[in-house]
């Protein structure tokens, strides 16, 4: 887990790690940066030493990650955590809702569906396709 001292000065509020090879992912990071009043520093995992964040290649190829000074959140919980950092009540409420049962089950399923099909979605490219598990076909 990262300490506040290990995050760069510009990312004391957190760091969003995403798949920079995925056009769909990059498009949505840029849209959220424009839409949300506060947005954390966002970096493609390909530009980072993911080991320094305690993440594996499998982790970052399958989920977006929000690294706060005290915790790590993956997938729909990363989005939820970013919403909970906003000043507006509506954003924070939605962030809490996405992390609360039974809404979290729906949010998790939605995130998994989008992640698995991101190469088929608008803005997606074949590079967005997730790699199959290494033991497939063995």
Please report the beta strands in the chain, taking only residues with DSSP state E, as ranges in sequence order.
15-18, 41-44, 65-67, 72-74
- Crossing angle (nearest 10°) for helices 76-84 and 103-117: 120
Residue 5's pLDDT band (boundaries 50, 70, 90)? very low
Which residue, 55, 38, 130, is CA-closest to 17?
55
The predicted-structure confidence for 69-97, as pLDDT tens digits, reads as follows 889 999 999 999 999 999 999 999 999 99
**In whole angstroms, what is the distance from residue 23 CA to residue 104 CA?**
26
Q: Is the pLDDT of residue 2 over 90?
A: no
pTM across the whole model: 0.78
């Amino acid at each position: 887990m990262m300490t506040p001292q290990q995050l760069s000065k510009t990312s004391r509020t957190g760091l969003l790690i995403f798949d920079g090879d995925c056009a769909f992912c990059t498009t949505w990071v840029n849209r959220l940066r424009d839409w949300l009043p506060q947005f954390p520093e966002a970096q493609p995992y390909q530009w980072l030493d993911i080991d320094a964040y305690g993440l594996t290649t499998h982790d970052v190829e399958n989920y977006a990650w929000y690294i706060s000074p005290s915790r790590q959140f993956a997938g729909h919980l990363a989005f939820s955590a970013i919403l909970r950092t906003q000043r507006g009540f509506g954003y924070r409420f939605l962030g809490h809702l996405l992390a609360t049962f039974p809404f979290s089950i729906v949010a998790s399923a939605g995130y998994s569906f989008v992640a698995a099909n991101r190469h088929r979605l608008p803005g997606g490219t074949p590079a967005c396709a997730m790699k199959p598990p290494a033991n497939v076909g063995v």
